[in-house]
């Protein structure tokens, strides 16, 4: 669908234009009905006035013809004491009424046409010989009588002529709408857009808010209808800022409170191993030390997962993937793990919008996953444009039926190696918060065994929890 018709300004402009046009059409129809009524009334008044005047003129001319029949020659015959003018010559005996559309006939009491206008039909118009108006499918007729002479004058105009006059009035009222409709639409659209500028400004300010920018939205220039909304948004931002601060403090305090006693306990156990101990006691101390090491790692993973799921503190900065990889590789230098960066010099310029620390956590988890399940194979890291990060190893790999569930919590490649099933879940959450995609391939293309993870980052907005 066209974006113009899904936007608020487009919908408002369209609605206003439809209502204006609808009102104009309704008004035009109402005016058309009124004009039709007035036209009919005006024509009727003209017919009645003309009939009264013409009756005297026609009666007088007919009387002159009866009194001086020789002037009419053979074209006049006498019927019931009245002369009847031959139809082919009646125009010579017809007084003019000055209207090309109007016709009249002078009839006797039997309905015989004694005289007519030049444009009137030869046969009677068909209206009863009763004073008043009568309408047929073709004529609007008015009859007036001269009772002392038993003469009736019927004057009529075509119904078609009245319809044409009404239609011309409707066209005259409708054409201006069609002419100014495009300009009206443009003016309405511009007016709506101008009045929605504060709403656009509010939208821009809200898009600028993130985990690092929760400043109140400005209300200057906002209409009264938006001030209350902006105040509510500012209160929500304040509560969100307090909640994020509390969450960050909780994460930091939890990490400190858990790591410190675990480190102290591990140090005490390591010192205990230096003492003279029985084999059974030494084995128990080693078992306890391994358990504390696992607990420390699990605590770290849970804190990472909590931070990733909440989206707390996610920055939206320009991040070079090459710098992220180099920073993480420095952490594994002391462990002598065969990790190779395969990307060429062009990869150094691959840049995405994201949070440096979160992407580093995701990459670190992927490397640890390859170390744990890669069976000592080399680990390769590849950077591709526009924002793809690939980590692969050449260990045993993963069965195809398990690939779809790997990113779920507590799902592991196999039970051969120790792990908590949280690493790939953390990676998936971080990638989703960045609006990216996570893809698993096993084995890598063209290789008999191995496991490959692809992180594709986009430049779209972060997803909030």
Phi, psi (degrees; rounded to nearest 5) at 9: -65, -40
Distance from the first to the final alpha carbon of the chain? 29
pLDDT for res 417: 47
Report the range of poorest mean pLDDT among 57-66, 124-133, 317-326, 370-379: 57-66
Q: Where are the alpha helices (DSSP H) in 196-223?
A: 197-207
**CA 387, 371, 373: angle at the middle one, nearest 5?**
105
Whether the CB-CB separation of 331 and 365 falls below 8 Å is answered with no
- Inform me whether the pLDDT recorded for 261 exceeds 60: yes
Q: How far is CA 195 from the centre of its chain?
A: 19
Topology of the domain covering 315-465? Heat Shock Protein 90 (3.30.565)
The neighbour count for residue 360, using CB atoms within 10 Å, is 18
- The answer to whether residues 214 and 237 touch, using CB atoms and an 8 Å cutoff, is yes
pLDDT tens-digit profile of 11-38?
A: 788 888 888 888 888 887 887 788 778 8
Two structure tokens written together for 193: 């857009």
Mean pLDDT of 323-334: 85
Structure-token pair, residue 370: 């390859």
Alpha-carbon span 198 to 192, nearest angstrom = 11
Q: What is the tens place of the pLDDT at every residue in 338-382?
A: 888 887 777 778 888 888 888 888 888 888 888 888 888 889 999
The number of helices, as runs of H, and strands, as runs of E, in the chain is: 9, 14
Helix (H), strand (E) at residue 154: strand 151-158
| Cα atoms in the Cβ-side hemisphere of radius 13 Å centred on 174 | 12
Check residue 418 and give its pLDDT: 46
CA–CA gap between residue 215 and residue 221 (Å, rounded): 18
The two beta strands, 379-384 and 339-341, are parallel
| 371 neighbors 418 (Cβ within 8 angstroms) | no
Comparison of pLDDT for 419 and 381, the residue scoring more: 381
Query: Is this model's pTM higher than 0.75 or not?
Result: no
DSSP 415: S
Q: Average of pLDDT values for 73-80?
A: 40
Which range is most confident: 31-45, 184-198, 228-242, 434-448? 434-448
CA dihedral 464, 209, 213, 251 (to 10 degrees): -10
Q: How confident is the model at residue 414 (pLDDT cuts 50, 70, 90)?
A: low
Whether 383 contacts 325, CB under 8 Å = yes
Q: What angle, rounded to 10 degrees, do the helices at 356-373 and 321-332 form?
A: 50
Sorted by where each begins, the domain ranges of the chain are 3-165, 210-313, 315-465
The confidence score (pLDDT) of residue 316 equals 73
How far is residue 175's CA from residue 188's CA, in Å, rounded to a whole number?
20
Closest alpha carbon to 122 in 88, 72, 160:
88
Range picked from 10-14, 97-101, 128-132, 409-413 for highest mean pLDDT: 128-132
């Amino acid at each position: 669908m066209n974006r113009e018709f899904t936007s608020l300004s487009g919908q408002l402009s369209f609605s206003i234009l439809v209502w204006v046009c609808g009102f104009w059409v309704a008004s035009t129809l109402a005016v058309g009905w009124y004009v039709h009524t007035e036209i009919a009334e005006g024509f009727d008044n003209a017919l009645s006035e003309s009939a009264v005047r013409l009756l005297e003129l026609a009666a007088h001319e007919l009387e002159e013809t009866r009194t001086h029949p020789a002037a009419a020659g053979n074209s006049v015959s006498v019927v019931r004491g009245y002369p009847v003018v031959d139809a082919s010559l009646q125009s010579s005996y017809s007084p003019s009424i000055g209207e090309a559309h109007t016709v009249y006939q002078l009839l006797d009491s039997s309905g015989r046409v004694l005289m007519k206008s030049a444009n009137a039909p030869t046969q009677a118009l068909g209206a009863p010989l009763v004073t008043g108006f009568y309408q047929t499918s073709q004529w609007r007729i008015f009859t007036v009588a001269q009772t002392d002479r038993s003469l009736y004058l019927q004057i009529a105009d075509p119904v078609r002529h009245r319809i044409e006059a009404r239609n011309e009035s409707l066209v005259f009222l409708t054409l201006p709408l069609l002419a100014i409709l495009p300009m009206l639409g443009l003016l309405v659209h511009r007016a709506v857009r101008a009045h929605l500028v504060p709403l656009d400004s509010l939208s821009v300010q809200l898009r600028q808010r993130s985990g690092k920018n929760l400043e109140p939205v400005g209300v200057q220039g906002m209409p009264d209808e938006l001030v209350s909304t902006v105040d509510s948004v500012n209160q929500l931002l304040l509560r969100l800022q307090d909640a994020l601060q509390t969450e960050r403090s909780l994460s930091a305090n939890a990490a400190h409170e858990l790591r410190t006693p675990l480190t102290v306990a591990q140090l005490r156990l390591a010192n205990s191993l230096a003492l003279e101990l029985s084999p059974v006691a030494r084995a128990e101390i080693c078992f306890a030390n391994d358990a504390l090491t696992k607990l420390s790692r699990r605590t770290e993973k849970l804190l990472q997962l909590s931070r990733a799921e909440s989206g707390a503190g996610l920055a939206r900065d320009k991040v070079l993937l090459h710098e992220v990889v180099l920073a993480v590789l420095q952490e594994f230098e002391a462990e002598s793990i065969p990790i190779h960066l395969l990307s060429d010099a062009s990869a150094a310029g691959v840049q995405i919008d994201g949070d440096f620390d979160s992407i580093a956590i995701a990459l670190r988890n992927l490397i640890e996953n390859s170390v744990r399940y890669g069976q000592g194979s080399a680990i390769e890291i590849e950077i591709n444009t526009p924002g793809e990060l690939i980590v692969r190893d050449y260990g045993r790999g993963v069965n195809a039926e398990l690939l779809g569930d790997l990113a779920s919590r507590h799902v592991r490649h196999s039970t051969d190696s120790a792990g908590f099933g949280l690493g790939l879940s953390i990676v998936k959450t971080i990638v989703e918060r960045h609006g990216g995609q996570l893809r698993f391939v096993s084995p890598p293309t063209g290789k008999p065994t191995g496991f490959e993870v692809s992180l594709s980052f986009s430049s779209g907005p972060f997803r909030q929890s």
